[in-house]
Amino acid sequence: MTEIDLLIIGAGPAGCSAAIYAVRAGVKTIIAGGAAPGGQLLQTSEIENYAGFVNPIGGFEIMDAMHKQCKRLGVEITSDEVVKIEGEKTPFTVTCADGKIYSAKSIVIATGAKARWLGLTEEEKLRGKGVSACATCDGFFMRGKTVAVVGGGNTAFEDALFLSQFCPKVYLVHRREGFRADQVTVELARHNPKIEFVLNAVPEKILGTDAVEGLRVKNVQTGETKDLAVSGVFVAIGAVPQTDFLKTSLVALADDGLVLADDRAHTTLEGIFAAGDCADKHYRQAIIAAGTGAKAGIEAAAFVNKHR
C-alpha cells in the first residue's frame, strides 16, 4: 500500500492544475492519470481559446507542458486506473485496476467526461473535419458556413444560438417535436431567422470524404430522407461523466452521473474534492477545468495540512 497526502484521479487540465496548487502548498501529491493521461484535449489538434497563447496550440502540446510543469514541481504522474474509493473519512483507500492500493489523506476527482456520439460510421472519420461535439471549441472554424446541430436539450439550443452569430444558417435537428430545453431558450431559437428546426428527424449519414459536405436525415414519421447541405455537424446529445467507479463510494452523484460538488470543489464527503468536466454541467472547457482544478488543489491542500 502506498501512503500519500493527496491522490488526484485524472491527468487532464483539472487534475494537473489541482496538483500544481497542492504541491506548491507543501502537499505530497500523486496523479493517477488512467489509461489516457492528458485527457480529452489529446483528441484535438487546435485550441484557440485557452488564454495565454497568441497562436492556436495543439492539445498534445498543452497537456505535455502541464505534465512537465507538474513533474518539475515534484508531482508523480502514473497511469493507474482507479476502480474504487472506500472509507467514510480520511484516510481513504483507493484501489486501482492492477490491484495497487493507495491510502490517501485527501482525494481530488478530476476524471472528465466523454461526449456522447450518434454512432454513425462516418462520424469518427470526420471528427475534426467538420464533425464536433463542442460548438464553443470548434464553432469559430465554421464562420460563414451552414451547419447542423443535433439534439433537443439546452446544450443543443445554446449551441445553435451561439453558432448563429457567425454562421448564415443553422439547422437544429431533433428526433421529436418536443424539447428538453428551457422554453425561453427554445423561443429565442424559434425567433432567430438563421435557425431552422428540422423535427421528427434522425441523422442517418454524414456526407463527405475528407470534410463534411452534408447531413442525411430521416423523418421518423414518413420514413423520407433528405440531405442538408452543411459543412459542420455539431453533436449536442450530452456528455457522460467518467464517474462509474464512484458508484460504490460515499461520494454523492447527480442522476446524470456528475459528481456533486459545491463552488469550493467540496464533494459530499469531507476530504474529497472534485473538479473539471466530471462535475461540470454547463461549460466543459479546458480553462474552466483548470480553474476548478486550482480551487480543488487549494482546498485539498488546506484539508491535508489541517489533518497532519
Ligand X SMILES: Cc1cc2nc3c(=O)[nH]c(=O)nc-3n(C[C@H](O)[C@H](O)[C@H](O)COP(=O)(O)OP(=O)(O)OC[C@H]3O[C@@H](n4cnc5c(N)ncnc54)[C@H](O)[C@@H]3O)c2cc1C
CB 239 within 8 A of CB 280: no
Side-chain half-sphere of 256: how many Cα atoms within 13 Å?
15
The verdict on 126 binding ligand X (CB under 6 A) reads no
The verdict on 289 binding ligand X (CB under 6 A) reads yes
Taking CB under 6 A as the criterion, which residues in 43-102 touch ligand X?
Answer: 43-44, 47, 49-50, 81-82
The verdict on 36 binding ligand X (CB under 6 A) reads yes
Binding segment (CB under 6 A) for ligand X, from list 105-113, 172-180, 203-211, 230-238: 105-113
Active site residue 16: no
Q: Among 33, 139, 151, 152, which residue sits at the site for ligand X (rule: CB under 6 A)? A: 33
Cross-strand partners of 234: 132, 149
Closest separation in Å from C-beta 227 to ligand X? 25
Q: Which of 209, 208, 202, 200 is nearest to 229 (CA)?
A: 208
Say which of 5, 80, 96, 138 is annotated catalytic. 138
Joined together, the cell numbers standing for residue 73 give 514541481
CA–CA separation, 265 vs 101, rounded Å? Answer: 24
* 179 vs 234, beta carbon nearer ligand X: 234
Q: Which of 96, 47, 75, 35 is nearest to 293 (CA)?
A: 75
Closest separation in Å from C-beta 189 to ligand X? 23
Binding segment (CB under 6 A) for ligand X, from list 8-16, 157-165, 168-176, 296-304: 8-16
Give the 3-state secondary structure of residue 137.
helix
Q: Among 115, 135, 235, 294, which residue sits at the site for ligand X (rule: CB under 6 A)? A: 115
CB 95 within 8 A of CB 84: yes
* 111 vs 267, beta carbon nearer ligand X: 111
**Residues annotated as part of the active site:** 134, 137-138
